[in-house]
Amino acid sequence: MLTTRFVDGAPCWIDVTTPDPEGAASFYRALFGWTYRSTGPEGGGYGFLERAGRIVAGCAPLTGAPLTGAQGPAAWTVYFRASDADAAADAVRKARGSVPAPPVSVGEQGRSALLADQMGAAFGVWQPGEREGLESVGEAGGLCWAELYTPDIARAAAFYHAVLGWETSAVTFPGGVYTTVSSRGTAEEGAFGGMVPLADDPVEAEENRPHWLPYIGAEDPDAVAARAAELGGRVRMPPTSIPGVGRLARLEDPHGARFAVLRGDPRET
């Protein structure tokens, strides 16, 4: 599970790149109670989304930002902890991935890079300096899971093992078999995400490209989904219960950034 006791390879940051940071902040404030704190011009327009005074995500203008350097459609990016961002970027190149934004220092906070796997799924790495990562994860209103949709599970597993040291496990549940991922040496107890065959999921296949999807914890996914629609977002997959997993919904904000919400409950039917 995700905790703020971050280890190498585990998710430690997420941010949304958007053409309208203030508008996005308003949407997520109404949805999750997040507040927005801009770093101002000196921070390149980057801002922090906070819940109860703790950072749960970042927010970057679409034209680029210190942490991402990204340009393109509105999107959420998942970052994984790396003890050496430059070494991670080199490992990505050796594994035949790509480095859209090479490692860059963010003041004394840390060092970041935006990368992509062999099949084009974008992700980031964060080498901590003064900032370890997010201040709240694994609870309502914070990042609780990350999922990769890919055309080739075996190939993706080999790539991320080479780059980040991940280990994978096959978990059987009533709907089939699910591939979980965890940091090296943490076994299944350290699972923080999973991999899903892109072609097997009609909701994610509509995007027609490999991608990462962050899950935000929610006490009431049904209410969050209804509120997202009221606020101009889109419900890509309505609230659904999965035995042994919980209740989840997949959403899209008004600018097109995709994410999901989850109330984990093994008793859910």
Task: Report the pLDDT value the prediction gives residue 69, as an integer from 0 to 100.
Answer: 41
Of all residues in the chain, what percent carry a pLDDT higher than 90?
77
Structural domain contains residue 99: yes
Contact between 26 and 15 under an 8 Å Cβ cutoff? The reply is no
What CATH code is carried by the domain that includes residue 248? 3.10.180.10
Examine the domain organization and report whether 147 and 251 are in the same domain. Answer: yes
Domain ends where: 102, 128, 154? 128
Examine the domain organization and report whether 104 and 175 are in the same domain. Answer: no
Examine the domain organization and report whether 199 and 259 are in the same domain. Answer: yes
Structural domain contains residue 136: no
Structural domain contains residue 247: yes
Examine the domain organization and report whether 157 and 229 are in the same domain. Answer: yes
pTM, rounded to two decimals = 0.93
Examine the domain organization and report whether 169 and 215 are in the same domain. Answer: yes
Which DSSP string do the residues of 184-236 spell out, in sequence order?
TT-TGGGEEEEEEEGGG-HHHHTT-S-EEEEEEE-S-HHHHHHHHHHTT-EEE
Examine the domain organization and report whether 163 and 122 are in the same domain. Answer: no
Residue 232: how many CB atoms within 10 A of its CB?
11
Q: How many CA atoms lie within 13 A of 137 on its CB side?
A: 24
User: What does the pLDDT average to over 227-246?
Assistant: 94
Please give the Cα distance from 180 to 167 (Å, whole number): 8
Examine the domain organization and report whether 149 and 115 are in the same domain. Answer: no
Helices 221-230 and 21-32, packing angle to 10 deg: 140
Please give the Cα distance from 125 to 10 (Å, whole number): 10
The residues near 158 (Cβ < 8 Å, ≥ 6 apart) are none
Contact between 155 and 163 under an 8 Å Cβ cutoff? The reply is no
Query: Which residue type, as a one-letter code, is found at position 113?
Result: A
Examine the domain organization and report whether 29 and 61 are in the same domain. Answer: yes
Confidence of residue 72 (pLDDT cuts 50, 70, 90): low
Examine the domain organization and report whether 34 and 122 are in the same domain. Answer: yes
Please determine, for residue 86, whether its predicted confidence score (pLDDT) is greater than 80. yes
Contact between 138 and 1 under an 8 Å Cβ cutoff? The reply is yes
Domain total in the chain:
2
Task: Report the pLDDT value the prediction gives residue 115, as an integer from 0 to 100.
Answer: 98
Cβ neighbourhood burial of 221 (10 Å; 0-12, 13-18, 19+): buried
Task: Report the pLDDT value the prediction gives residue 60, as an integer from 0 to 100.
Answer: 92
Confidence of residue 265 (pLDDT cuts 50, 70, 90): low
Examine the domain organization and report whether 118 and 206 are in the same domain. Answer: no
* Tens digits of residue pLDDT in 180-214: 999 988 877 789 999 999 998 988 887 779 999 99
Structural domain contains residue 58: yes
Please determine, for residue 268, whether its predicted confidence score (pLDDT) is greater than 70. no
Structural domain contains residue 135: no
Which of 169, 146, 168, 126 minimizes the C-alpha distance to 6?
A: 126
Please determine, for residue 172, whether its predicted confidence score (pLDDT) is greater than 50. yes
Tokens representing 252? 């899209």
User: What does the pLDDT average to over 116-136?
Assistant: 97
Examine the domain organization and report whether 158 and 90 are in the same domain. Answer: no
Domain ends where: 61, 93, 128? 128
Domain ends where: 128, 163, 189? 128
User: What does the pLDDT average to over 125-151?
Assistant: 96
Task: Report the pLDDT value the prediction gives residue 269, as an integer from 0 to 100.
Answer: 40
CA dihedral 255, 251, 192, 69 (to 10 degrees): -10
Tell me the average pLDDT of the chain: 91
Domain of 30 in residue numbering reads as: 11-128
* Tens digits of residue pLDDT in 19-44: 999 999 999 999 999 999 988 777 78
Task: Report the pLDDT value the prediction gives residue 267, as an integer from 0 to 100.
Answer: 40
Task: Report the pLDDT value the prediction gives residue 67, as an integer from 0 to 100.
Answer: 44
Examine the domain organization and report whether 195 and 238 are in the same domain. Answer: yes
Structural domain contains residue 5: no
Task: Report the pLDDT value the prediction gives residue 15, as an integer from 0 to 100.
Answer: 97
